[in-house]
Structure 1
Amino acid sequence: MFRSLMIITGLLFSLNAMAEKIGTLSVQQALMTSQAAEAFRNQLKSEFSGEQKQLMDLEGQAKKLQENIQKGQGTQSKEVQDQQRVQFQKAYGEFQRLAQQLQQKQRQREEVFLQEMRPKLDKVIRGLIDDEGYDLVVSKEATIFAKPELDITAKVVELLNKQ
């Protein structure tokens, strides 16, 4: 592990010595701060608003049932307490099922969005590299330190917004 890190570090230093223009880029940040991502988030919010409301209603129902169980301890018969527990478990189970289903749908939609955006992003990055003559662009997340002026993420977002 340490040896691999040393090799990579050495390679980067040698590339740095040869490279005249270097940039760092956070691909994730560029994608998620673009206007397309904002529009996508708004579309998701609208698209899943009914299911989100249903989820919130189920959560409220489960909390109310739980509160009733706690208030009734010692004052209600065992049968009533058991019946309330069953109702709570049913409501909570439905809440969990719906939450997982909603998360899965949202993840699938996000994957489709990212697949659609990737070619556009690649085109923007390639154009920026060619137009501005970058010799080396590295992942911002993979760098230990880089001067802020080397970060081209904002430029990529700006160009992506023009697409």
Structure 2
Amino acid sequence: MKTMKTVLFAVLMVPMLALADKIAVVDPMQAIIETEEVKSRNATLESSLEADSQRLRKLRDDITKVEERLQRDGMTMSSEERNRLTDERETKGFEFQSLQQSLQRRVNSDRQALIEQMEPKVLKAIEEISNEMGLDMVISAQAVVFVKPDLDITAQVTQRINRMK
């Protein structure tokens, strides 16, 4: 009986093993991130945000200086001066928070637009590569616990997208 189960198991596994050669994995986000188009666009975005980033750093430094002064000299300064510095800290804090949120929205918006723009290219590249390689299935790398490196087509997808213009 035990031998019969082993033979049955082996017979049922043969088709699964045959399919294993026709499966690959891809990390779509990694493929997108590594493309020349995305690298260029990220550099452009970074440079366009540089002035606001500098403003954020300056605000953070100003807030820190005001807080340090309040802590260091707060007991000896007049209540009027302490109130003025407290108001300044709050005003700069609100400005910092507002600017930070604005920058984050711009980055998120750009990232979302980029993903929407790149998605058809990724799907086309995956389809072309899977047809060329005779793949039956391409699985997202996030859904796989382990895969042999030779079954990962992420780099090939990136190269294919780079050739698309």
TM-score (norm 1): 0.85
Map 1:61-72 to 2 at 5 A.
Answer: 61-72=62-73
| Cα distance in 1 for residues equivalent to 2:38 and 2:88 | 40
**Alignment match, 2:85:** 84
Query: AA paired with 1:36?
Result: E
- Runs of 4 or more, structure 1, over 6 Å off, are none
**Alignment match, 1:52:** 53
**Alignment match, 2:106:** 105
Map 1:2-151 to 2 at 5 A.
Answer: 16-17=16-17, 19=19, 20-151=21-152
| Cα distance in 2 for residues equivalent to 1:47 and 1:77 | 43
Moved more, 151-160 or 14-23: 14-23
Q: Which runs of 5+ in 2 are unaligned?
A: 1-12
| Cα distance in 2 for residues equivalent to 1:98 and 1:49 | 13
Moved more, 22-31 or 48-57: 48-57
Sort the Cα spacing of 1:16 and 1:94 in 2 relative to 1 into closer, same or farther, 3 A.
farther
| Cα distance in 2 for residues equivalent to 1:87 and 1:15 | 72
- For the aligned residue pairs, the C-alpha RMSD in angstroms reads 1.8
Answer with 1 or 2: which has the greater Rg.
2
Q: Deviations for 1:22-63, whole angstroms, at most 9, x for unmatched residues?
A: 111111111111111111110101222222222222122111
Instruction: Please state whether the residue corresponding to 1:75 is helix, strand or coil.
Output: coil
Instruction: Please state whether the residue corresponding to 2:138 is helix, strand or coil.
Output: strand
TM-score (norm 2): 0.84
- Shift of residue 73, structure 1, vs aligned partner: 2.5
Q: How many corresponding residue pairs?
A: 151
Moved more, 14-23 or 145-154: 14-23
Q: Which runs of 5+ in 1 are unaligned?
A: 1-12
Instruction: Please state whether the residue corresponding to 1:110 is helix, strand or coil.
Output: helix
Sort the Cα spacing of 1:99 and 1:115 in 2 relative to 1 into closer, same or farther, 3 A.
same
Query: AA paired with 1:118?
Result: E
Sort the Cα spacing of 1:14 and 1:160 in 2 relative to 1 into closer, same or farther, 3 A.
farther
- Shift of residue 14, structure 1, vs aligned partner: 9.8
